[in-house]
A and B are shown apart, each in its own frame.
Chain A
Amino acid sequence: MKALLIGESREGKLLESTYELVGFARQLGADSAMFLVGDPGRLPGYAGKLYLADVAQAGEYQPDLHKKLILDAVEKENPDLVVFLHSSYGWDLAPRVAVRLGVGQVSEVIGFKEGGFELGACNGKMRRAVKLQGRVVVTIQAGAFAAAPAEGSPQVEPLKESAVSLVEFAGYQPPEPKDIDLARAEIIVSAGRGVGKKENVEVIAALAKALGGELGASRPVVDAGWVEHSHQVGTTGQTVSPKLYIACGISGAIQHLAGMKKSGFILAINKDREAPIGEIADVLVVADVLQFVPALTAKIAG
């Protein structure tokens, strides 16, 4: 089994998540080669063949051009698997490559199962297993496979393609400045969609205050404008690891978990006993947040 690993760089730097691809290939017991559009002056710590296109020419977001370059590498390497991270780079590019190769794609692999791959379904509540036949394009879930250490130096094989891109990348927009640094909080009490409406966020904020902690939130609460984005926990918000994390009416989607699973102690309050947050919570309280949380706050206030 041979895997072509599609590394990532952003704003000139190699993304550390690239080493999760190497970890995936090792766990699978596959031989690997790597493809990267990156800076030839900053190579990954990887002891294998590296198909490298210079980011100065190929750009960081030129999907049509990167697709062509990957097809060149596939032709040279003849891999069984073309492996991307399930990231804004990978999920954007993988389907284009799969169509051009005339092969299927498996998205967001979380593990190995019965000679094939295991995937999540229904927002993490269920699992699906797929078997593989022939060449396949794969994306792996961020954080699902432990990163391999950066070691060795690659044998570089430069790639070059001229292509007219259908999209023009006009640059990055930096994150909005934060008014609060959740990453330093020792106690975070987060509101999820289960709080029901904006006014109820107060109930969660009151518990946070009673505990001397900060208010966090899941994405829908932020998207709805109930809480500022600076309070959002997750892959597109902040990554936190407080000593105590309390998730109120949060289902536990992978993008939320990725931002808080390293917390010391996790308490979840959810009316759904099957909510995936239960998989990582130290304690899951099956209750209505609007009954339980005010009662707990009152008890703390004495």
Chain B
Amino acid sequence: MSRTDPLIEGAFWQRQNEVIERTFLEAEQLHHLKETLDSVYSNVPFYKSRFEKAGLIPGDIRSLGDLRRLPFTTSDDLRAAYPFGMLAVSKEDVVRLHTSSGTTGKPKAIFFSRQDIENSSDLIARCLVMTGTGRGDILQNMMTYGMFTGALVMHYGAEKVGALVIPAGPGNSDRQISFMQDFGVTAFHITPSYALYISSLMQERGIDPGKDLSLKRAYLGAEPYTEETRRKIEYIFGIDVYNCYGLTEMNGPGVAFECMHKNGMHLWEDHFLMEIINPDTGEVLEDGEKGELVLTSLRREAMPLIRYRTRDITRIMPDNCECGRTHRRISRILGRSDDMFIARGVNIFPQQIEQVLMGIKGVAQNYQIVLESFDDITVRAEISKDLFDGNIEHLLDLQTEIADKIRAEIIVKPKVELLEPGALPVSEGKAKRVIDNRTM
């Protein structure tokens, strides 16, 4: 289904930076780390007092290995610093504000200098070029514009490489489909759940997304999803799907991105230092071990962050990639430490359940996990319209298959509810997968 275009092998936006030798890269990293530490120590009172508490001054950090002596920054720190507390430059040097809202409390205010905007677009440009998007491409940007960085940063990067950008945003799905048809859209940027929704809508309208459109590739981000979901989207649309990773606190999307080999995302290490830690103890883990990604920005001016805890669970893939880029890859995001829930004492990520469901014939793409108590999980899955044969035994078998396969994955056996297709709310943005009705 998916095809790798031989033309994009060897396509680089900033070749020198992307294939830089590791020793040079590390020297550069240390240089920028020192600059960053000097900047936050002298300009951000929060960091000054944090460093003092740890008994450190920037000069104590002499190697990249010293990084782990520094304290972490958390999203709670950013909320506490709202609105201007984390700013490392004067307000006059800030050209943009984004906020990232949590479910509770104050938002996080994230500032960009002109150079920060420039850098974030360059990183996205690298990502686009290495997957074949450039001049002549038409990119439909179906992420949320506004306070969320996802759409805007992609927008800037795509314009930078010379693509024609349609700033569609999410929603108004029939219009989205018309745009794709009328303008011959070749690439789109979208959340996985919205991609699945759009595909089923196209089929309802009698459009074969694999045959009737000019789509070549999609960039998927903003919510974690599984390899099964990627393949499904590639299959339905007949395109290549690339994973992207980013967060507003670190310039938005384009922090890490898949190359044409689609095997892990290159994290741009000339802009970010990465560590993987045990989320419970804070201990730094070896390359290859699964844990929480911690990022230190190396070139951010307006709002550098030191050892920022992303809450995203992944692992570093230390091997060299065939594409020649020397920046190490991270695996797809396995979950958010925030999304993780506990049932019967077991740590569970919604993605584990999603992965199982995607592998079962007879289940449609939408699902929900409902938590009513600490002992039980209910998985609500829509049955597939096409596979319904009117036989109740087959549905009971399906119910059992789902429960057993999920149990094999997460140890806990869920209750399974089979729903009519379309019964669950469709999302035109981020899907809400876990409904937690538990009270302490």
B partners with A: no
Binding site for B on A (CB under 8 A): none
